[in-house]
Amino acid sequence: MLLPKEIREGLSTKLFGMKDIHYLNEIDSTNTRAKELAVKGAPEGTLVVSEKQTKGKGRKGRSWFSPPHEGIYASLILRPTISPREAPRITMLTAVVVAKALLSLTQLKVTIKWPNDILVNGKKLAGILTEIRGETDTIDYIVVGLGLNVNTPRFPDDIRDKATSIFIETGSPFPRARIIREYLYWYEKYYGLFNANGFGPILRLWKRLSRIIGHQIIVDMTDAKYSGEVEDIDENGVLILKDHNGETHRIISGDVILI
């Protein structure tokens, strides 16, 4: 069980997870519940966790496999004083936080795949879905949803080749509460760093953890495909790709295949 009491045991944060943890046995989507709470004024640092999701949402309208008691399905409410344009930075920050938490708890070779998947051995261990409400230049709230496959022994056929879990990678079950605690710890630390020093230090960490720069890739967008070398990731998370004709492309979203 992922009871708030268990999550809080030994948690050393000031805000994140200390005040409000909404624990559910079952929900359609923790992101949807977190958005409802955010609209009603829930403070920054509020966390929604569920043992199971019946309509777990992934990026691009995909669904997120959310079997009971096996994974982490968690949504955090943030109220950063940035413009909506800069919201992708929060998703990148989250990827850094997830990678750091996993690297400090396990021996797994965790990497970040642009824009924000967490991979181990080329398979997806965790995904992030950020949802935002704001005006032209202010954010009312951001809900950051994390799906992390912890003790899943096997996946459905359609995702078996692409997905993995800590259990599959290590052969042993891992306590989910420990991961959430570590996640909240690194989140508070790096979110604080972001608010105090801007995005520069986070972007540097992201680049180090992603190891994508200099790599040959194919990017599949819905309407086009490019291949070439990754030159850089800019401060808005845009991927800068130099194709084989030397032409530069700025890619905002797409699926990356490393070649």
**With respect to ligand BTN, which residue has the nearer C-beta, 65 or 186?**
65
DSSP codes joined into one string, 77-140 = EE--SS-GGGTHHHHHHHHHHHHHHHHHH----EEEETTTEEEETTEEEEEEEEEEEE-SS-EE
Burial 37-65, CB ≥16 within 10 A → b, else e: bbeeebebbbbbbbbbbeebbebeeeebb
Nearest approach, Cβ of 157 to ligand BTN (angstroms)? 18
- Cα torsion angle, 11, 12, 16, 20, sign: positive
Query: Which of 128, 177, 184, 217 touches ligand BTN by CB under 6 A?
Result: 128
Nearest-CB residue to ligand BTN? Answer: 127
**With respect to ligand BTN, which residue has the nearer C-beta, 29 or 100?**
29
**Cα–Cα–Cα angle for 99, 15, 107, nearest 5°?**
20
42 binds ligand BTN (CB under 6 A): no
159 binds ligand BTN (CB under 6 A): no
Reduce the secondary structure of 176-229 to three states and give it as a string.
HHHHHHHHHHHHHHHHHHHHHHCCHHHHHHHHHHHCCCCCEEEEECCCCEEEEE
Count of residues touching ligand BTN (by CB under 6 A): 20
CB 49 within 8 A of CB 148: no
Nearest approach, Cβ of 196 to ligand BTN (angstroms)? 28
Nearest approach, Cβ of 197 to ligand BTN (angstroms)? 27
Query: Which of 7, 11, 17, 29 touches ligand BTN by CB under 6 A?
Result: 29
Query: Which of 45, 67, 88, 127 touches ligand BTN by CB under 6 A?
Result: 127
Beta-sheet strand order (sheet of 216-220): 248-251, 239-243, 225-233, 216-220, 255-258
CB 37 within 8 A of CB 79: no
- Of 55-63, 86-94, 102-110, 156-164, the window that binds ligand BTN (rule: CB under 6 A) is 55-63
**With respect to ligand BTN, which residue has the nearer C-beta, 125 or 251?**
125
**With respect to ligand BTN, which residue has the nearer C-beta, 56 or 228?**
56
What x/- string results for residues 60 through 99 when contact with ligand BTN is judged by CB under 6 A?
Answer: --x-x--------xxx------------------------
125 binds ligand BTN (CB under 6 A): no
| Binding region for ligand BTN (CB under 6 A) | 29-31, 53, 56-59, 62, 64, 73-75, 117, 127-129, 145-147
